[in-house]
């Protein structure tokens, strides 16, 4: 058998790759009906261009002919780049952070994989609030761990009591993602404190302290004056993983980092382990060129108010059509409830919307059965044009009753 049975069964399972498949079907539909007749909300690929500072920096660095500037560097990344990421994290977390806490990574996905390889042993568990970014299941499984899905509260905030109840001696980490993909929720300072308190209590009782892993690629994309609260001041064994995929619109450049809380009791060991796992996973180091770009431009900003405008527009359209949704506080995803006629079958709702050339992602893949995700990082024009399709889709449903 040429392919591992596990990979084969995962690849061919109903939910695997459903978002990618939808994206590819979208390309076909666009060929058939024309770009402006297909409303593709399937994938979180930022449509805003990177900031001008990034283009200028790329141009400047491309002219560099200094020796070894495209060569290997230490597996953790360039020391000067680690120092810049430490400065960024310090500003976000409000505590002093040194370059020795940072390991550069191949995006947030590479950061999560290097970290999980470093901290998960066979049989360990990672707890996550559901719904969650669908790839987490694979990332945890890659290292012999199990992702334990703990349903969020009805408003999609953290259910701290349920998370606490799910912790046991096999719990290696609790993984949070704020602003959240797919719900757009930002967890409040109060909730983060409660979670940290519950994890401390568990550690005292059980003798094993889980890491609090904060996946934050959407940190900068927050609306209505909201901010993402820091975790380092409230929990010592916390690790931030992030990237420049969404805030600087650079997903294809695969650049991110891991930052371990300077107060983490086993900080040096975790950092050393992540440096080692970066190497043995075959990443070797984060892309050299974009490490240097990130070091110079991390503070640049895309105009995130354009995403807020898109959010408001799509909410208006969904309200007009009569599709229930939550109000995202950050990121660029809209979490919508499948109308009751679908009886919780989100896949059927996605298939139904496809008939109106609306492409979405079924919530089941995110551990959120009965809901769908619309990625509104698409042009405002496309959102505007989708109005009639959404309205007709729901009207036809009602008429068919
Ligand atoms: N984490 C979350 C919550 C995401 O939504 C994504 C990408 O969509 C990633 C991690 C992976 O990000 P990157 O492209 O930086 O690897």
What are 25-75's pLDDT values in tens digits?
888 888 888 888 999 999 989 999 999 999 999 999 999 999 999 999 999
Q: What pLDDT shows up at residue 15? A: 67
Task: Note the Cα 197 to chain centre separation in Å.
Answer: 24
Contact assessment for residue 373 and residue 133, using Cβ atoms and an 8 Å cutoff: no
For residue 28 the two structure tokens come to 């076909």
Strands (E), 216-262: 238-243, 256-260
Choose among 206, 185, 180, 219: nearest CA to 89. 219
Ligand 1 centre distance from Cα of residue 212 (Å): 17
Give the ligand 1 atom nearest the CA of 132: 3
What lines the ligand 1 site, CB under 6 Å? 44, 107-109, 133, 177, 181, 215, 217, 243, 245, 251, 256
Choose among 42, 66, 20: nearest CA to 288. 66
Ligand 1 centre distance from Cα of residue 1 (Å): 32
CA of 364: how far to CAs of 8, 349, 350, 376, 388, in Å? 20, 12, 11, 19, 26
Distance between the two ends of the chain, CA-based, in angstroms? 49
Domains annotated on the chain, with CATH: 5-50+303-400 (3.90.1150.10), 70-297 (3.40.640.10)
For residue 85 the two structure tokens come to 């990421």
Contact assessment for residue 364 and residue 335, using Cβ atoms and an 8 Å cutoff: no
Q: What pLDDT shows up at residue 25? A: 82
- For residue 296, give the 3-state DSSP assignment: helix
Mean of the per-residue pLDDT values for the chain?
96
Determine whether 169 is exposed, middle or buried from the number of CB atoms within 10 Å of its CB (0-12, 13-18, 19+): exposed
Contact assessment for residue 173 and residue 213, using Cβ atoms and an 8 Å cutoff: yes
What are 144-154's pLDDT values in tens digits?
999 999 999 99
DSSP 222: B
Strands (E), 16-145: 39-40, 102-105, 125-130
Candidate of 185, 245, 368, 376 to mutate for ligand 1, largest count of ligand atoms within 8 Å of Cβ:
245
Contact assessment for residue 109 and residue 201, using Cβ atoms and an 8 Å cutoff: no
- For residue 354, give the 3-state DSSP assignment: helix
pLDDT at 23 over 90: no
What are 232-284's pLDDT values in tens digits?
999 999 999 999 999 999 999 999 999 999 999 999 999 999 999 999 999 99
Contact assessment for residue 149 and residue 96, using Cβ atoms and an 8 Å cutoff: no
Ligand 1 centre distance from Cα of residue 181 (Å): 9
């Amino acid at each position: 058998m040429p392919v591992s049975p596990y990979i084969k069964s995962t690849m061919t399972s109903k939910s695997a790759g459903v978002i990618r498949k939808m994206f590819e079907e979208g390309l076909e539909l666009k060929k058939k009906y024309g770009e402006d007749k297909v409303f593709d909300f399937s994938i979180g690929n930022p449509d805003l261009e990177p900031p001008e500072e990034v283009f200028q920096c790329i141009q400047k660095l491309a002219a560099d002919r200094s020796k070894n500037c495209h060569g290997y560097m230490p597996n953790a990344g360039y020391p000067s780049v680690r120092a810049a990421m430490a400065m960024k994290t310090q500003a976000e977390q409000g505590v002093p952070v040194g370059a020795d806490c940072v390991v550069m990574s191949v995006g947030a996905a590479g950061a999560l994989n290097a970290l999980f390889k470093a901290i998960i042993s066979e049989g360990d568990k990672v707890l996550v609030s559901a719904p969650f970014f669908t790839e987490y299941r694979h990332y945890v499984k890659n290292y012999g761990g199990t992702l334990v899905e703990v349903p969020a509260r009805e408003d999609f905030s953290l259910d701290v009591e349920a998370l606490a109840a799910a912790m046991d001696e096999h719990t290696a980490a609790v993984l949070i993602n704020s602003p959240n993909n797919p719900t757009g929720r930002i967890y409040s300072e109060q909730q983060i404190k409660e979670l940290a308190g519950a994890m401390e209590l568990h550690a005292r009782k059980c003798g094993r302290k889980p890491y609090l892993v904060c996946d934050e690629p959407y940190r900068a994309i927050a609306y209505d004056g909201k901010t993402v609260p820091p975790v380092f001041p409230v929990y010592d064994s916390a690790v931030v993983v992030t990237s420049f995929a969404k805030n600087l619109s650079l997903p294809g450049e695969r650049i991110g980092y891991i930052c371990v809380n300077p107060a983490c009791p086993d900080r040096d060991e975790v950092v050393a382990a992540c440096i080692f796992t970066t190497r043995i996973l075959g990443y070797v180091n984060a892309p050299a060129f974009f490490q240097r770009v990130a070091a110079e431009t991390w503070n640049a900003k895309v105009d995130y108010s354009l995403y807020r405008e898109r959010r408001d527009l799509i909410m208006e359209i969904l309200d007009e059509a009569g599709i229930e949704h939550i109000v995202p506080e950050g990121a660029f995803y809209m979490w919508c409830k499948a109308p009751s006629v679908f009886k919780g079958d989100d896949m059927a709702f996605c298939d139904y919307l496809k008939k109106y050339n609306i492409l979405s992602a079924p919530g089941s893949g995110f551990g959120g059965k009965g809901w769908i995700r619309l990625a509104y990082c698409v042009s405002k024009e496309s959102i505007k044009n989708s109005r009639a399709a959404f309205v007709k889709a729901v009207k036809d449903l009602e008429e068919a009753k």
